[in-house]
């Protein structure tokens, strides 16, 4: 398996944060497209979305556990509704009993 270079340019997948990124042709705009080999998310280098920091994600999860309204959480934390929806979907995929009001080991305080 020579010729395949993982983590070119130190790229990270904007979706899952993995570094197994490969080139995947070009978009019709001529921009280099990249493909995450972990979650198969496709993205272009110049299409930068505002990154949601792990701290922000933790805060969102904490507010969710406090049963705040989704709109209120988005406003308070400053994330978009579309990101929030994706985050909820990811939660329900990864955790069978999502939105447990007090997950074990969740840092309080």
Closest separation between CB of residue 24 and Zn ion, Å? Answer: 12
Within 8 A by CB and 6+ apart from 74, the residues are 80, 81, 84
- Considering the rule CB under 5 A, would residue 16 count as an interface residue with Zn ion? yes
The smaller minimum CB distance to Zn ion, of residues 15 and 65, is found at 15
Q: Which of residues 38-77 bind Zn ion (CB under 5 A)?
A: 38-39, 41
Query: Measured at the alpha carbon of residue 36, what is the angle toward residues 34 and 37, in degrees to the nearest 5?
Result: 125
Q: Give the residue from 79, 28, 37 showing the smallest Cα distance to 58.
A: 79
Looking at the Cβ atoms of 19 and 77, the one nearer to Zn ion is 19
Residues that bind Zn ion (CB under 5 A): 13, 15-16, 18, 36, 38-39, 41
């Amino acid at each position: 398996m020579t010729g395949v270079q993982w983590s070119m340019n130190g790229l990270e997948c904007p979706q899952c944060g993995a570094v197994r990124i490969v080139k995947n042709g070009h978009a019709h705009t001529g921009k280099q497209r990249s493909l995450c080999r972990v979650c198969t998310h496709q993205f272009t280098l110049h299409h930068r979305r505002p990154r949601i920091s792990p701290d922000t994600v933790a805060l969102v999860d904490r507010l969710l556990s406090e049963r705040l309204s989704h709109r209120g959480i988005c406003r308070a934390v400053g994330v978009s509704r579309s990101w929030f929806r994706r985050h909820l979907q990811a939660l329900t995929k990864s955790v069978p009993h999502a939105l447990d009001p007090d997950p074990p080991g969740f840092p309080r305080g």
